[in-house]
Amino acid sequence: MLDILSGVEYIHSKRFIHRDLKPTNIMFGLDGKVKIGDFGLVAFKDADQLERSPNKGTESYMAPEQKSELTYNGKVDIFSLGLIIFELVWKISTNHERGLMWGNVRAQKLPQEFIHSYWEEFQIIKPMLSEKPEDRPGASQVKAHLEEHTHRLDILEIRTRGSRSV
Active site residues: 20
Give me the half-sphere count of Cα atoms (radius 13 Å) on the Cβ side of residue 23: 8
How many residues does the structure list for the chain?
Answer: 166
**Are β-strands 26-28 and 34-36 bridged in parallel, bridged antiparallel, or unpaired?**
antiparallel
Question: How far apart are alpha carbons 72 and 139 in whole angstroms?
Answer: 16
Question: How far apart are alpha carbons 29 and 49 in whole angstroms?
Answer: 33
Which phi and psi (to 5°) does residue 72 adopt?
-160, 170
Alpha helices (H) along 14-163: 64-68, 75-89, 95-106, 112-117, 119-128, 139-161
- Contact predicate 72/51, CB 8 Å: no
Question: How far apart are alpha carbons 154 and 157 in whole angstroms?
Answer: 5
